[in-house]
Structure 1
Amino acid sequence: MSEQLDRRSHAYRPDLADIRLRGRVTADRYIEGMPAEVIVPVAALHPRPDPESSIDTQALRGEALSVFDISGGWAWVQLAADGYVGYVREQAIGQGAGPATHVVSVPRSFLYPGPDLRFPHLDALSMGSRLRIVGTAETRATPYAILEDGSAIIAAHLLPVAENLTDDTVSVASRFLETPYLWGGRSGFGIDCSGLVQMALAMTGKSAPRDSDQQAASLGRIIDPDTDGLQRGDLVFWKGHVGFIEDPETLLHASGGTMYVTREPLRDAIDRIARLYGLPTCYRRP
């Protein structure tokens, strides 16, 4: 008999399951996932192999994952960073040539066919994308980082993977102000509330689960705003929503109300959201 495991973070179906779940779930076969990585700027992760199904989350270029099945143009995968399970297009993944050396550290940056910003760009990459840099070049006093295929990106837009952008999560989140809200989004091109929290924590060297209910159950410790007070970087949760405390009076969040990342008075947000979804369910200090 199978345990009731969260399918968002455990790879199992009636016909196939992660070998690490043997004895916990029932499946026809148990296999070890094959390592791969994302090779497109942003890969949508769906709950079913269906392009019309909702987007649960996104994986960024260079992110590692395990592949359990490929069928009909879809790959059933589990992301390495947060363990999320779902389906991506087969063409969005490939075999990596080695570990990433750098991570994109600005909300968005362009990838060029060579080290010259006047070249037509090849792709746009989001903060959090992971790249293997093999060299450097300089054109008209602008330094570039060179990838294995000869393409180039502005060097100042990267950090070595071992470095953190800052220790202030709110300053990272504020870089996404006015980024469009996108359900399931987790990039500089579109982001949702829990994606913003996960991204900001990741760029400060902290891991976080993907969805707001998972974050509300595990991030840091619960605080009481009346006795503990609120400070920069605290998180306030509602049913299905989360945002950063920028200061004790200000909320910074990816808002489905404005449809972009915004800041607003905390009291106004609490009153507005209460009319639809109730009062905050908890406050946590990561």
Structure 2
Amino acid sequence: MDLRTTPFNGRVAHVSLKGQIEADRFVEGELMRVVYSIADFFRAPHGARDRQLLSGQAFRVLDIQDEWAFGFSEYDGYCGWILYQALLATEHTTHRVWTRESFWRAEPELKYDALDSPKYLGSEVRVFQTTGDWSCIGPDQYMPSVHLKRIEDFETDTVAVARRLLGAPYVWGGNSARGIDCSGLVQAAFRACGISCPGDSDLQMNMAGIALDAGDPLQPGDLLFWKGHVAMATGPDAMIHANAHHMAVVEEAIEPALARISATDTGPITLRLRPSLPTG
């Protein structure tokens, strides 16, 4: 049983697991949304960070223990613990941030100081009304409308989305421009394009798609996997990835990168994957 994808904490389980496991309670859970700019997602209370959720993203709470909430991300089903104070039961979102990073201000004015609560690429908001070039997302909260896209307006180029995060610092388990890891970069790009994508590289290896032979030319959006690492091809000879060698998101030539990575404990490429994309 993979605890990352099984909504069960040893005591409470999601109703979808009835008849499959034994649990004290089976619940539907409560849908809540992240109110922090970034909320760390832990494998256990006070444990190691596995991933992150961003402001406005949905989390289904199945159990609460002290200050911790157990549940799963509505987007990919990733399970874990989040600080309960980082969540709020709120209405559906209408827009998401498509730029690398945005902000909100207390007044819809360009020269009004931005408050220290950034919204990162992929964050979701509810727009109540627009005032000129500004979108009201709450009481005394205004964001530049140009930084937002409607939730249903997906992008079409995963590489273009990934390139928006060039230079972002490498952070294990990170999912934002403030800090991101290899699988977080891939997920951010695919999520912006409306494509289902798990959060960790070993799970991403099982995405629907075509396994490529070593001699097959790479296309933009193809994925390259190593043990514990993933990169996205930006063309036949280049790739983009968040990595600990550069401690950042970089785009580089594939062949020198292959030689460098193969000389480490990561080893050689294990899979070249052309993910299946939605049609129509």
TM-score w.r.t. length of structure 2: 0.94
Q: CA deviation at 1:149?
A: 1.7
1:235 is aligned to 223
Q: CA deviation at 1:254?
A: 0.5
Question: Is the 1:104–1:126 contact (alpha carbons within 8 Å) kept by the matching residues of 2?
Answer: yes
Q: CA deviation at 1:22?
A: 1.6
Answering whether residue 140 of structure 2 is matched by residue 150 of structure 1, we say yes
Q: 1:112, 1:9 → 2: CA distance? A: 37
Q: 1:220, 1:116 → 2: CA distance? A: 47
2:83 to 83, 89, 108: 89
2:274 is aligned to 285
List aligned pairs for 1:43-54, cutoff 5 A: 43-50=39-46, 53-54=47-48
Counterpart of 2:138, as a letter, is E
Higher mean alpha-carbon deviation, 16-25 vs 122-131, is at: 16-25
Q: CA deviation at 1:238?
A: 0.3
Higher mean alpha-carbon deviation, 235-244 vs 107-116, is at: 107-116
2:201 to 209, 212, 225: 212
Counterpart of 1:110, as a letter, is F
Counterpart of 2:40, as a letter, is A
2:94 is aligned to 101
1:247 is aligned to 235
Answering whether residue 197 of structure 2 is matched by residue 197 of structure 1, we say no
Q: 2:129, 2:207 → 1: CA distance? A: 40
Counterpart of 1:235, as a letter, is L
Counterpart of 1:257, as a letter, is H
Deviations 1:209-243 (A, max 9, x none): 111001012242211131x3211111100010000
Answering whether residue 118 of structure 2 is matched by residue 130 of structure 1, we say no
1:64 to 46, 53, 58: 58
Q: 1:158, 1:75 → 2: CA distance? A: 29
Counterpart of 2:249, as a letter, is V
1:120 is aligned to 113
What RMSD over aligned residues (CA atoms) do the two structures have, in Å? 1.2
Determine helix, strand or coil for the equivalent of 2:260.
Answer: helix
TM-score w.r.t. length of structure 1: 0.92
1:274 is aligned to 262
Q: 1:205, 1:106 → 2: CA distance? A: 16
Counterpart of 2:175, as a letter, is R
Q: CA deviation at 1:54?
A: 2.0
Q: 1:244, 1:199 → 2: CA distance? A: 12
Question: Is the 1:208–1:219 contact (alpha carbons within 8 Å) kept by the matching residues of 2?
Answer: no
Deviations 1:79-104 (A, max 9, x none): 100101111111100111x2111110
Deviations 1:105-153 (A, max 9, x none): 1010011112123223221010111111011123xxxx11111323101
Q: 1:94, 1:100 → 2: CA distance? A: 13
**Gaps in structure 1 of 5+ consecutive residues:** none
2:278 is aligned to none
Answering whether residue 163 of structure 2 is matched by residue 174 of structure 1, we say yes
1:111 to 104, 109, 113: 104
Q: CA deviation at 1:41?
A: 1.1
Determine helix, strand or coil for the equivalent of 1:218.
Answer: coil
Q: CA deviation at 1:181?
A: 0.7
4+ residue runs of structure 1 moved beyond 4 angstroms?
Answer: none
Q: 1:72, 1:191 → 2: CA distance? A: 29
Question: Is the 2:105–2:140 contact (alpha carbons within 8 Å) kept by the matching residues of 1?
Answer: no
1:256 is aligned to 244
Determine helix, strand or coil for the equivalent of 1:230.
Answer: coil
1:7 is aligned to 3
Instruction: Tell me how many residue pairs correspond in the alignment.
Output: 273
